[in-house]
Amino acid sequence: MGFKPDKAKEIASHITVDPARGSGHAWGSQMKGDKNHLRTRVGKNGMDYKGYNIAVHELGHNVEQTISLYMVDNYLMAGVPNTAFTEAFAFTFQKHDLDLLGIKDNDPNKEYLATLDNFWMAYEIMGVSLVDMKVWTWMYAHPDATPAQLKETVISMAKEVWNKYYADVLGVKDCPILAIYSHMIDSPLYLPNYPVGHLIDFQLAQWFKGKNFADEAIRIYSAGKLIPQEWMKHAVGSEISIKPMIEATDAAIKVVK
């Protein structure tokens, strides 16, 4: 990823790898001197592509966890503004998994396809995020609602969001699929972190272009737990915005048919 040997060694010395029982996970250490744990699945016959792909994503989290614990001004600033910021860093690593194996993707449309992929993922997860926000607004207005009423509301709100933003594009009306993320009830307002993570990921990717990734990663992530827009201004000189993604998507659909 472009880290100088001494920095790479230093960061790696804070990371240890364990076999995962589930899919994969990055467990950050809370104190200096402890290890960040990278957990991924290694099957009986060794690591397969899926295990490797997840491992690279988790390694991204571990590198971020190391930078934002050891390289911040003060321990109390350790970390990132919220989950979206660490996911953005993990996505950046994950995208380079084949590069790291020396496999080059020479598709001339590579960048356009990556833009469309990012746009599509954001579009998809924004739907469930809107349902999440609507449902929590409704729950605060109806503190005595029963589980049956909640279920009915989630499904009808999912259809409402679908009909407004997806039905015309996908040609199906009243689809309830955006209600599928049941964990939005036990992890309140977590889902919006994903689309915001894709926006941050996109803005960072634009910023990293033509620069040394490792040096920039250290500069950006050593800012620590600032408030989100301050962090972003320090990182790329502008606030979190959907504009760069929309503009790049416009350009991409002119090329990719």
Name the site residues for Zn ion (rule: CB under 5 A). 87, 90
Contacts (Cβ under 8 Å, ≥6 apart) of 247: none
| Cβ closest to Zn ion, residue 87 vs residue 201 | 87
| DSSP class of 43 | B
Q: For the chain, give me the number of helices (H) and strands (E)?
A: 11, 3
Which residue is it, tokens 């600032």?
226
**Closest distance to Zn ion from the beta carbon of 94 (Å):** 8
Q: Is 49 exposed, middle or buried (0-12, 13-18, 19+ CB in 10 A)?
A: exposed
| Cβ closest to Zn ion, residue 53 vs residue 212 | 53
Q: Nearest to residue 147, comparing CAs of 135, 161, 158?
A: 135
**Closest distance to Zn ion from the beta carbon of 86 (Å):** 7
**Closest distance to Zn ion from the beta carbon of 141 (Å):** 33
Chain position whose Cβ is nearest to Zn ion: 90
**Closest distance to Zn ion from the beta carbon of 85 (Å):** 11
| Cβ closest to Zn ion, residue 65 vs residue 115 | 65
Contacts (Cβ under 8 Å, ≥6 apart) of 221: 64, 67, 68, 71, 80, 89
| Cβ closest to Zn ion, residue 25 vs residue 134 | 25
**Closest distance to Zn ion from the beta carbon of 96 (Å):** 15
| Cβ closest to Zn ion, residue 63 vs residue 90 | 90
**Closest distance to Zn ion from the beta carbon of 25 (Å):** 9
Q: Are 40 and 58 in contact, with CB atoms under 8 Å apart?
A: yes
Phi, psi (rounded to 5 degrees) for 81: -55, -45
| Cβ closest to Zn ion, residue 40 vs residue 249 | 40
For 104, other C-beta atoms within 10 Å of its C-beta total 9
